[in-house]
């Protein structure tokens, strides 16, 4: 729960100020500096810096800040047993027990197919992923709750879906290494089914998957659409869900956009709210780079080099990491100091590949075509069927929004449509975005694929 409180700390401060009327100054001086030290048996220990002394603790209690915090935490986490305890840092330090992960835990992570480094501790939280992170923490803290079962994480490649889903698994095992947690890629799941069918061992396959407490399947889009695997998967899904076991899935798109997913099954993926992860902003990229450099023991990377990478690799965290790996290989091989110029030279292939692409009507039409599975020819044709017209309207809307083309010029890119048609199509999309959140989300996913830099 400690991580959950940290993730919601700003919300907690806002509630104290806005709903309980504690003045901004009091919050800033007394509550903000509190440190969530630990949580044991619903007791939340907040520590205060030594400089405030015991009188500081007495002041906090006199102002009833422990009661206020307790009320907010109880409400936020729907748990009436939560108790807030204020103490000085030194008092806790004396009693501090370093968390030591047992052999059982280490064995459990290997049995569960987890990478040891994909933990919450190593995951950098920023604007782009804070919602996904908070949801994953909530699931980790109480797996199997209907609200997030299944937990469906989606987003473009390399943005941290696998890392986050495995973090949940780690957290669960850190707190109870007896839980049966299993992570598999879609490929592995598919291969096991095929093998089980061929060897007539489907019963064993079912036993293996149906006795787990938490099942994580990565890149589910590869599993869907293959009949035998899809059916077997949904049998497993239903069996686990009926027993309140947690299912965690990842995909590159939200359920409603997985074309090959049978409609009968689509709603099941949406029982829990699908959660998306966005590309990290500049500050988050910098923080990720520094964190990865520290993990890799890369000490000689200067600030301008971090800045150079973070400015130029903007979308994919895996590529950010790739840049660091390249630098680390050079520095280890040559025992050399990496200067800024050398770094630029070493990374030139990677960076130019990732350079900002100019968004053109062609790029937009191709992206919409790929995303909605409607051919480019149909989009620029005069065909009026609903799905083709929608693809065309969205493309025109995006051209207006992300290129500097005027209505006439946009019309030309669509086989010579006149400017009033373009105008009314754009309006239709704007209206639909306002009225229909699902539609708005779909357009948003396409925009993410285009990766505009504004």
Chain contacts with ligand ATP (rule: CB under 6 A): 122-124, 129, 155, 157-163, 219, 252, 288, 317-318, 321
Any known ligand binding at 161?
A: yes
Instruction: Say which residues have a Cβ less than 8 Å from residue 48's Cβ, sequence separation at least 6.
Output: 33, 34, 35, 56, 57, 60, 86, 87, 88, 89
3-state class (DSSP) for residue 181: strand
**Residue 208 burial (CB count, 10 A):** 15
Asked if 159 contacts 319 with a C-beta cutoff of 8 angstroms, the reply is: no
Q: How far is the CB of 133 from ligand ATP (least distance, A)?
A: 8
Nearest CB to ligand ATP, comparing residues 405 and 449? 449
The phi and psi torsions of 324 (rounded to 5 degrees) equal -65, -40
Any known ligand binding at 160?
A: yes
Nearest CB to ligand ATP, comparing residues 131 and 419? 131
Asked if 212 contacts 239 with a C-beta cutoff of 8 angstroms, the reply is: no
Instruction: Say which residues have a Cβ less than 8 Å from residue 382's Cβ, sequence separation at least 6.
Output: 415
State both tokens at 212: 């787990």
Nearest CB to ligand ATP, comparing residues 115 and 210? 115
Q: How far is the CB of 395 from ligand ATP (least distance, A)?
A: 26
Nearest CB to ligand ATP, comparing residues 77 and 315? 315
d(CA 7, CA 12) in angstroms, rounded, equals 10
Asked if 197 contacts 233 with a C-beta cutoff of 8 angstroms, the reply is: no
State both tokens at 84: 């807030």
SS (H, E, C) 33-72: CCEEEEEECCEEEEEECHHHHHHHHHHHHHCCHHHHHHHH
Q: How far is the CB of 82 from ligand ATP (least distance, A)?
A: 29
Any known ligand binding at 162?
A: yes
Q: How far is the CB of 296 from ligand ATP (least distance, A)?
A: 11
Q: How far is the CB of 317 from ligand ATP (least distance, A)?
A: 3
**Residue 319 burial (CB count, 10 A):** 19
Asked if 223 contacts 230 with a C-beta cutoff of 8 angstroms, the reply is: yes
Q: How far is the CB of 219 from ligand ATP (least distance, A)?
A: 6
Task: Tell me which residue has its CB nearest to ligand ATP.
Answer: 160
Nearest CB to ligand ATP, comparing residues 145 and 291? 291
Nearest CB to ligand ATP, comparing residues 236 and 284? 284
Question: Cis (ω within 30 of 0) for the bond into 150?
Answer: yes
Binding residues for ATP: 158, 160-162
């Amino acid at each position: 729960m400690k991580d959950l409180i940290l993730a919601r700390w700003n919300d907690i401060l806002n509630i104290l100020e806005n709903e309980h009327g504690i003045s901004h100054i009091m919050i800033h001086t007394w509550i903000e500096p509190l440190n969530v030290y630990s949580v044991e048996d619903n007791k939340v220990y907040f520590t205060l810096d030594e400089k405030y002394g015991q009188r500081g603790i007495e002041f906090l209690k006199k102002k009833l800040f422990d009661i206020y915090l307790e009320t907010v935490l109880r409400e936020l986490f729907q748990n009436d047993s939560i108790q807030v305890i204020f103490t000085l840092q030194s008092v806790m330090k004396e009693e501090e027990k370093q968390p030591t992960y047992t052999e059982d835990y280490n064995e459990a992570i290997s049995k569960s197919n987890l990478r040891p480094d994909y933990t919450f501790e190593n995951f950098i939280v920023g604007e782009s992923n804070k919602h996904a992170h908070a949801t994953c923490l909530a699931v980790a803290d109480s797996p199997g709750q209907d609200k997030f079962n299944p937990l469906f994480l989606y987003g473009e490649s390399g943005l941290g879906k696998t890392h986050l889903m495995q973090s949940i698994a780690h957290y669960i095992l850190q707190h109870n290494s007896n839980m049966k947690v299993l992570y598999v890629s879609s490929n592995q799941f598919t291969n096991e089914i095929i093998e089980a069918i061929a060897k007539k061992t489907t019963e064993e396959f079912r036993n293996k998957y149906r006795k787990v407490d938490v099942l994580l399947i990565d890149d589910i889009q590869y599993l869907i659409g293959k009949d035998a695997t899809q059916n077997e998967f949904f049998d497993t899904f239903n069996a686990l869900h009926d027993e309140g076991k947690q299912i965690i899935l990842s995909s590159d798109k939200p359920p409603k956009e997985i074309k090959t997913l049978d409609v009968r099954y689509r709603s099941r993926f949406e029982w829990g709210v699908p959660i998306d992860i966005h590309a990290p902003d500049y500050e988050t990229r910098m923080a990720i780079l520094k964190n990865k450099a520290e993990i890799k023991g890369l000490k000689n990377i200067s600030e301008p080099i971090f800045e150079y990478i973070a400015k130029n690799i903007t979308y994919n965290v895996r590529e950010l990491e790739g840049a660091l790996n390249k630098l680390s290989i050079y520095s280890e091989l040559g025992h050399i100091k990496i200067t800024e110029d050398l770094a630029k030279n070493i990374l030139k292939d990677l960076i130019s590949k990732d350079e900002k692409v100019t968004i053109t009507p062609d790029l937009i039409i191709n992206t919409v075509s790929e995303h909605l599975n409607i051919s480019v020819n149909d989009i620029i044709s005069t065909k009026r069927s609903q799905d083709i017209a929608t693809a065309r309207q969205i493309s025109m809307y995006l051209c207006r929004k992300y290129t500097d083309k005027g209505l006439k010029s946009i019309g030309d890119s669509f086989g010579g449509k006149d400017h009033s048609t373009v105008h009314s199509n754009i309006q239709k999309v704007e209206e639909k975005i306002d009225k229909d959140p699902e539609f708005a989300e779909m357009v948003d996913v396409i925009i993410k694929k285009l990766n505009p830099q504004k």
